[in-house]
């Protein structure tokens, strides 16, 4: 048995807390079964956004004729693009591993960690198979993995998840994507831009169902123009025949009493690759949490209090595995909160207000705060305004579509903001700062000087125009 002051399972954002412990002079154990650096670095946002930027460059060139520029793409070395990105990711992971191995205050244990007692973990597999570790404080930051729904025949088909898709060195001729969330949207954009025919099958009425409904509808309309899209359909069966894979999907009614509509004709799609992008599941089932007092919710995510301490004393959790926001910037935010609460003098609840998200597809989507559907469901009074990119000088110059939608209460407090269009992931930041660090009202945006004719004017004007009052699902000019 090896004894430590602090132990973390997972080497993503949990490392930020481990580093604080080490800087406080504590002995630290880091347990990691996969590549060092966690999902974001190795299998998520870093490789995907690197690859997506290449798609954005190609898309820009292909639009050049709209600006009376005759440009042609002579060649695309897709394999080199993928190899370069993955080599950079591997180098970053190796650098973190080297730093942990050479640290006098961290000890890295490579293998799968499973609880065998309160705050006691045993390592299986990897270089440190059989090691048993105990710590005064334990942090669970073991993340999630791709979810694979129980589709008939799925176990007999050679399908991809996002992990494998990010390493493909040849784009499929026809990629079928099961799922309609941000992973489906981003990878559809990536492979579609590089020449794949793309078909998307999603159960919900729109793609990006977690976005504001008006944004999701606009996004879905754009993807219908680009790809073959079957929303409102659930994949019910898959099969493989040589180099081809076939997906059968039936109409799906979403809602409390909804489900597959059996008496409707199915849609059948055949392609040469299948990507399952149906969300994420927590890795709690690998941890043997029954050996501790750590409880999970109905979906398997770790239960915590508002300070991110679990139901077991001195066992904390953060990141995707707690299921609040499956976003790297949320995990980093939680890591700062956990570090304060473990090593500070006073406990502070995690503040999830103004937690933004972004989808790096084409078009980009970003949002923060409540959607209009959220406000209607809560029966809240609100007002809303929308402003189009094309009605600004810069948006007009870019020949672009898209809009900024603002939701406020009747006193002017910002309740939410939702953007679809170029640089949405950057434009949303002004609103996040206003909600988090300013007065949180429309004045923060209206009264700030915005450079003319830069793109942020579309945000300023969305906050400065005439708002319509929302009431019971209807809008009234106000």
Q: Do 2-145+281-343 and 363-477 share a fold?
A: no
Q: Residues near 302 by Cβ (< 8 Å), separated by ≥ 6?
A: 140, 282, 284, 289, 294, 295, 296, 310, 317, 321, 322, 323
Q: Residues near 355 by Cβ (< 8 Å), separated by ≥ 6?
A: 325, 327, 329, 330, 333, 368
- d(Cα 467, Cα 95) in Å, to the nearest integer? 51
Say what the pLDDT of residue 478 is.
38
Q: Which two tokens stand for residue 442?
A: 């429309």
Q: Which helix (H) or strand (E) holds 375?
A: helix 372-377
Domain formed by 154-278, architecture: 3-Layer(bba) Sandwich (3.50)
Say what the pLDDT of residue 262 is.
78
Dihedral, CA atoms, 372, 373, 375, 376, nearest 10 degrees?
A: 120
| Percent helix / strand / coil, the chain, rounded to 5 | 35, 30, 35
Q: 457-464 and 424-437 helices cross at what angle (nearest 10)? A: 50
- d(Cα 206, Cα 474) in Å, to the nearest integer? 21
| Weakly modelled stretches of the chain, pLDDT under 70 | 471-478
Q: Which two tokens stand for residue 223?
A: 């993807």
- d(Cα 12, Cα 25) in Å, to the nearest integer? 21
- Which CATH superfamily does the domain covering 363-477 fall into? FAD/NAD-linked reductase, C-terminal dimerisation domain (3.30.390.30)
- d(Cα 135, Cα 360) in Å, to the nearest integer? 40
- d(Cα 44, Cα 63) in Å, to the nearest integer? 28
Contact 113, 130 (CB under 8 A): no
Domain chopping of the chain, boundaries = 2-145+281-343, 154-278, 363-477
How large is the C-alpha radius of gyration of the chain? 24
Q: What angle do CA 461, 64, 218 make, to 5 degrees?
A: 45
User: How far out from the chain centre does Cα 333 lie?
Assistant: 15
Identify the three-state secondary structure at position 29: strand
Say what the pLDDT of residue 401 is.
95
pTM above threshold 0.85? yes
* HSE-CB of 349 using CA atoms within 13 angstroms: 5
Say what the pLDDT of residue 254 is.
82
Q: Which strands sit side by side in the sheet containing 468-471, from one edge to the other? A: 357-359, 365-369, 414-420, 403-408, 382-388, 468-471, 474-477
Q: Which two tokens stand for residue 345?
A: 């003098």
CATH of 2-145+281-343, one of 1.20.120.80, 3.40.50.300, 3.50.50.60, 3.40.190.10: 3.50.50.60
DSSP secondary structure of 153-207:
TGGGS--B-HHHHTT-SS--SEEEEE--SHHHHHHHHHHHHTT-EEEEEESSSSS
Say what the pLDDT of residue 475 is.
52
Catalytic residues: 452
**Beta strand ranges found along 327-444 (DSSP E):** 357-359, 365-369, 382-388, 403-408, 414-420
């Amino acid at each position: 048995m090896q004894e430590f002051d602090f132990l973390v399972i997972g080497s993503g954002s949990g490392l930020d807390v481990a580093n604080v412990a080490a800087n406080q002079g504590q002995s630290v154990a880091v347990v990691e079964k996969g590549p060092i650096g966690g999902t974001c670095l190795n299998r998520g946002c870093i490789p995907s956004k690197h690859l997506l930027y290449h798609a954005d460059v190609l898309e820009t060139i292909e639009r050049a004729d709209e600006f009376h520029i005759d440009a042609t793409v002579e060649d695309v070395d897709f394999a080199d693009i993928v190899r370069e990105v993955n080599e950079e990711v591997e180098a970053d992971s190796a650098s973190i591993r080297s730093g942990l191995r050479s640290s006098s205050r961290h000890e890295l244990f490579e293998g799968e960690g499973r609880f065998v007692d309160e705050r006691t973990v045993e390592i299986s597999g990897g270089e440190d198979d059989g090691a048993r570790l105990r710590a005064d404080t334990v942090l669970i930051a073991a993340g999630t993995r791709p979810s694979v729904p129980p589709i008939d025949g799925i176990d007999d088909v050679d399908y991809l998840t996002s992990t494998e898709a990010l390493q493909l060195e040849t784009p499929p001729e026809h990629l079928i994507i099961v799922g309609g969330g941000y992973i489906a949207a981003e990878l559809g954009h990536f492979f579609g831009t590089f020449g794949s025919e793309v078909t998307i099958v999603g159960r919900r009425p729109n793609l990006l169902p977690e976005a504001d409904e008006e944004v999701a509808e606009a996004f879905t309309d754009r993807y219908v123009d680009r790809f073959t899209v079957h929303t409102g359909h659930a994949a019910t069966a898959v099969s493989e025949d040589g180099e081809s894979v076939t997906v059968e999907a039936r109409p799906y009614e979403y809602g409390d009493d909804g489900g597959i509509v059996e008496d409707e004709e199915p849609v059948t799609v055949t392609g040469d690759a299948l990507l399952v992008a149906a969300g994420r599941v927590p890795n709690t089932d690998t941890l043997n949490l029954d050996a501790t007092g750590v409880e999970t919710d109905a979906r398997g995510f770790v239960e915590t209090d508002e300070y991110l301490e679990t139901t077991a004393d001195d066992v904390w959790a953060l990141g995707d595995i707690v299921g609040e926001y499956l976003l790297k910037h949320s995990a980093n935010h939680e890591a700062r909160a956990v570090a304060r609460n473990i090593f500070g003098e006073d406990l502070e609840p995690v503040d999830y207000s103004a937690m933004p998200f972004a989808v790096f597809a084409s078009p980009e989507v970003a949002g923060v705060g409540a959607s209009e559907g959220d406000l209607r469901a809560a029966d809240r009074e609100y007002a809303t305004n929308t402003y189009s990119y094309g009605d600004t000088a810069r948006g007009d110059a870019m020949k672009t579509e898209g809009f900024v939608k603002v939701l406020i209460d009747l006193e002017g407090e910002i309740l939410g903001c939702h953007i679809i269009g170029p640089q949405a992931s950057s434009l949303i930041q002004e609103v996040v700062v206003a909600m988090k660090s300013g007065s949180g009202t429309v004045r923060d945006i209206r009264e700030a000087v915005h450079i003319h004719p830069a793109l942020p004017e579309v945000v300023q004007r969305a906050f400065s125009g005439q708002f319509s009052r929302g009431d019971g699902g209807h809008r009234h000019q106000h």
